[in-house]
Chains A and B, each alone.
Chain A
Amino acid sequence: MNYKSFGDRTMLFVFYLAIGLFAAMCVIPMWIALMASFTNELELIRNGYSLWVRSFDLTAYQLIFTGTTSVYRAYGVTVLTTIAGVILTVFLTSSFAYPLSVKSLKYRNKLTFFCYVTMVFNGGLVPTYILTTRFLHMQNSIWVLIIPAALNGFNVFLMKNYFATLPDALAESAKIDGASEVYIYFKIILPLSMPILATIGLFAAIGYWNEWFRVLLFISEQKLFTLQFLIMRLQQQAEFLNSSLSASARAALGGQMVPTIGIRVATAMVSIGPIILLYPFLQKYFIKGLTIGAVKG
């Protein structure tokens, strides 16, 4: 682009400045927390959070990895629910969305409407709570963290719209060659739909990885806590992990105070590790999903 006038150059400068500042602000809090997780607890309490490590200390990480099993346990639950949840989401969403995109299917509009209703009206918290605890008896079960989140109308419509962009001729010519609907779906449609399957899968992965609301509602046993819920407990009850520290970990602290702030930030850092690692994929497929949705979502 050609920037000639003084006004244009000023404008460009303002854009650079604003965008640069905003982008920096987006990562600075994470940086501050990361530094805090490596900082000595007393130093943190005395001088507060800062942009660099003033007194290096790994006690917090030592404690969450070797002093207690809570974090490992929560990590395990989170990984398990995320993997199972993503598989279930992709399976349920694609198998429900594909028939809705087949134009020759007589009842597809009725089924679409059936799905649409769930997007504009829902029973809300109280009936869902009672259904889950009194009728399905899913409280304190790992399934409550996996199943109820697996299908939602938004994903169905996103996927249906993608399937609808695939040329009809593909399925038709396969049909003429004698392929069954099942063959067409699994061998022709699904392999062509990897981008949308990946997008929905990653949407779901982030949702499952960050899940804590269902734990708050339905789980009271600590062995089923997810990472995010553990972090929330640590934030709202600072002494939450102290009781679960092993005797040897206490002895190693040697009468020093338990670094509650440090444990809190370190656990948060550990929980976002995989997100940072997968970030290039996440960014790519989320943008793809968003722009598919923008075309008709």
Chain B
Amino acid sequence: MQRAQMQTSAQKQTSAPPKNKETFLQEILKNRYLYLLTLPGIVFLIVFNYLPMVGLYMAFVDYNPMKGLYGMKSEFVGLDNFEFFFSSGDWLGITFNTLYLNSLFIITGLAVQIFMAVGLNEIAGNKFKKLAQSFMFLPNFLSWTVVSIFSIAIFSTDTGVINGILNAMGLESINFYQDASTWPFILVMLKLWKGVGFGTVIYLATISSMDQEMFEAAKIDGATRLQSIIYLTLPMLKTTTIMLLILSVGGIFYGDFGMIFALIGDNPLLRPTTDVIDTYVYRALRMNNDIGMSSAVGLFQAFVGFILVVSVNAITRKMSKDSALF
């Protein structure tokens, strides 16, 4: 980070260390237009990405906005903010919820996406396939706020479709919006609803890029379609699956704030199963105005998240250079 900043300020002021001065200047001058093109992007990243990283320092102070830019001159309190968070007992619950919900999302997503991709591939080239794909892809473009309007129509106690059906069958209504135990299931369903069409695309692309001669050969040898799916298609999807799995594990420490806040808002009844790190930080910041603690939680998340992403990417790179994200 420091190096990067030095580098950019050097570009702007051309004040590189004397040793490199000539070559550095020559390079900048030679390609001045190309470097000029990168300048807006560099400024943007410094302001909106690097400056907030510096701001993580707030996790170690007793924040006082009056004391210098960012409150940088606030009293240094070391790990007090972390101690407060880790001794509050909240951290176990929200960390568990974040990891648990994300694991459910990843595993169910993977299974359903592969199933749909294999299925769509079997239904080769007709209108049903095209229409089904278009329908499945649509929810991806809706925002969670619109989804929450839909979910009221489905899950509301008095007017919702599910309770309407239950009542018609003579069963009692379920108070979804007051019953925390139902929400992991509902969230998984909504996540699948919104994400499967999108996720299927990559698997479908992988399947259609497979060597078709192999399937022909299997057919001549008398293999059924089911057998060629089990013994050819699925094994050949392994690499793609592992890559996508590993990549999503990299983000497992980040809760889906947009989803949970739009669907549930700040409903304390549902917090036991739906409160994730991101909603907790938001509440600490906006409702309790607890800058110190919320930035400590944020730093905890950024740190663990960073370790996960980097190690996951290192594993991916080792497995296959082409599949590494970076």
Contacts and interface: CB of A to CB of B under 8 A. Distances in A.
A1 interface: yes
B44 A125 contact: no
B126 to A, nearest CB: 10
Contacts of A107: 7, 27, 35
B70 A22 contact: no
A116 B326 contact: yes
Nearest to A296: B322
A36 to B, nearest CB: 6
Contact of B52 (A12, A18, A127, A134): A127
A172 B241 CA distance: 39
Given A8-B225, A151-B44, A228-B146, A157 B326 contact: yes
Interface in B3-44: 4, 7-8, 27, 31, 33-35, 37-38, 40-42, 44
Contacts of A27: 135, 138
Interface in B267-316: 278, 281-282, 285-286, 291, 294-295, 298-299, 301-302, 306, 309-310, 313
Nearest to A102: B34
Nearest to A14: B119
Interface string A162-190: 00000000000000000011100100000
A235 B145 contact: yes
Nearest to A182: B33
Contacts of B152: 235
A244 to B, nearest CB: 19
B224 interface: yes
Contacts of A44: 159
Interface in B97-140: 115-116, 118-120, 122-124, 128, 131-140
Contacts of B236: none
Given A92-B40, A123-B302, A283 B219 contact: no
A48 B295 contact: no
Contact of B205 (A24, A33, A182, A294): A294
B45 interface: yes
Interface residues of B, number: 108
Contacts of A185: 37
B287 to A, nearest CB: 12
Contacts of A290: 198, 201-202, 205
Contact of A122 (B49, B115, B146, B281): B49
Interface string A252-281: 000000000100110010011001000100
Contact of A19 (B1, B50, B119): B119
Interface in B148-203: 148-154, 156, 158-161, 163-164, 193, 196-198, 201-202
A148 B132 CA distance: 36
Interface in A107-134: 107, 110-111, 113-131, 134
Nearest to A136: B47
A125 B276 CA distance: 14
A25 interface: yes
B325 interface: yes
A134 B65 contact: yes
A2 interface: yes
B55 interface: yes
B141 A282 contact: yes
Given A15-B122, A22-B116, A120-B306, A268 B55 contact: no
A76 B310 CA distance: 41
A136 B295 CA distance: 19
B149 A125 contact: no
A275 B161 contact: no
Given A48-B164, A117-B1, 8 more contacts: A1-B225, A15-B119, A48-B156, A111-B38, A114-B45, A127-B298, A181-B34, A286-B137
Nearest first, the 5 A-B pairs at minimum CB distance are A123-B52, A127-B55, A96-B41, A210-B143, A15-B119
8 contacts: A33-B149, A49-B154, A96-B40, A104-B31, A114-B45, A128-B48, A235-B149, A290-B202
